[in-house]
């Protein structure tokens, strides 16, 4: 039986020291998948989006100009701090960060119109 709290602590400890590196990583900051996402979403000024396992926030940063709000959600506090700082730096005032695990998303059903996740699903 997996102890989910222990697992989440291990993952969080793994990612916290790497938050700045993920923000600056060219591999994570670029990619045809991000371009496809932008094309698929289009302009959705009334939509609320969730970026699950946001890491350094590269999907969040691309979604924010397209939608009403983006919730950047992650287990790692350090990742969320980086996303909040970088969102401010980019003038993206519609990004909110939220700490938690994918397995226990504390939002009511149907809270989101768009859900994306990138390089994270394999951890859950």
Ligand X SMILES: C[S@@+](CC[C@H](N)C(=O)[O-])C[C@H]1O[C@@H](n2cnc3c(N)ncnc32)[C@H](O)[C@@H]1O
Can you give the binding site for ligand X, defined by CB under 6 A?
11, 15, 22, 28, 53-56, 58-59, 74-76, 79, 101-103, 118-120, 123-124
What is the number of alpha carbons within 13 Å of residue 108 lying toward its C-beta? Answer: 2
CB of 123 to ligand X, least distance (A): 3
Q: Which of 57, 69, 31 is nearest to 117 (CA)?
A: 57
Give the residue with the Cβ less far from ligand X, 46 or 89.
89
Give the residue with the Cβ less far from ligand X, 71 or 75.
75
Give the residue with the Cβ less far from ligand X, 44 or 123.
123
CB of 68 to ligand X, least distance (A): 20
Taking CB positions, which residue lies at the least distance from ligand X?
A: 55
Q: What are the φ and ψ backbone dihedral angles of 48, each rounded to 5 degrees?
A: -110, 130
20 burial via Cβ count (<10 Å: 0-12, 13-18, 19+): middle
CB of 13 to ligand X, least distance (A): 10
Strands 67-74 vs 44-52: parallel, antiparallel or unpaired: parallel
């Amino acid at each position: 039986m997996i102890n989910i709290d222990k697992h989440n602590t291990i993952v969080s400890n793994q990612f916290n020291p790497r938050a700045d590196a993920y923000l600056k990583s060219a591999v994570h900051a670029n990619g045809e998948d991000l371009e496809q996402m932008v094309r698929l979403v289009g302009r959705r000024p009334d939509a609320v989006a969730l970026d699950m396992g946001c890491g350094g926030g590269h999907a969040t940063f691309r979604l924010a100009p397209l939608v009403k709000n983006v919730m950047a959600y992650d287990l790692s506090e350090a990742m969320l701090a980086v996303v909040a700082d970088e969102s401010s730096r980019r003038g993206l005032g519609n990004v909110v960060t939220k700490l938690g695990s994918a397995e226990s998303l504390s939002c009511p059903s149907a809270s989101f119109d768009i859900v994306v996740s990138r390089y994270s699903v394999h951890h859950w």
